[in-house]
Amino acid sequence: MIVVMIVGTVPTMSDDVPLKLPRYVFRRANGSFRYKRNVPLRLRVLLGKDTLYRQLGDSYREAMQNLPQVHAQVEAICAQETELSARQRSLNIIRGALSLDKVLSEYA
């Protein structure tokens, strides 16, 4: 039996996409790329979600360009919720409800 090894090649999927994508990056069935991040347990009740998703792009290159910004945004969301006090969170909900009522009353 003869075994031939080719040194220096990396197996890839189509469109020069590496087999192992960076952490939190997934390729969807339609070929686009998505950022998927599980919300820490302590923040799930506050955010009302178990997972945060963000679209990264349709190509690998576009996804890698958008990844640092999207990752920073998701990290900021988690950090903001961690630092926000229960009082401030309640005030934000009330302010949001009042401004929505104000906007709706202006158009009624």
Does residue 2 fall inside a structural domain?
no
For residue 106, pLDDT over 80 is answered with no
Does residue 79 fall inside a structural domain?
yes
Does residue 6 fall inside a structural domain?
no
For residue 10, pLDDT over 50 is answered with no
For residue 48, pLDDT over 70 is answered with yes
Domain that holds residue 30: 12-107
Does residue 7 fall inside a structural domain?
no
Total number of domains constituting the chain: 1
Confidence grade of residue 32 (pLDDT, cut at 50, 70, 90): very high
pTM of the model: 0.65
Does residue 53 fall inside a structural domain?
yes
Distance set, CA 100 to CA 6, 10, 45, 48, 108 (Å): 63, 54, 23, 20, 12
The pLDDT of 63-89, averaged and rounded, is 89
Does residue 36 fall inside a structural domain?
yes
Does residue 44 fall inside a structural domain?
yes
pLDDT digits (tens, 9 = 90+) for 16-28: 777 788 899 999 9
For residue 70, pLDDT over 70 is answered with yes
The pLDDT of 58-82, averaged and rounded, is 92
List of E strands, the chain: 12-13, 17-18, 25-27, 33-38, 51-57
pLDDT, mean over the chain: 81
Confidence grade of residue 35 (pLDDT, cut at 50, 70, 90): very high
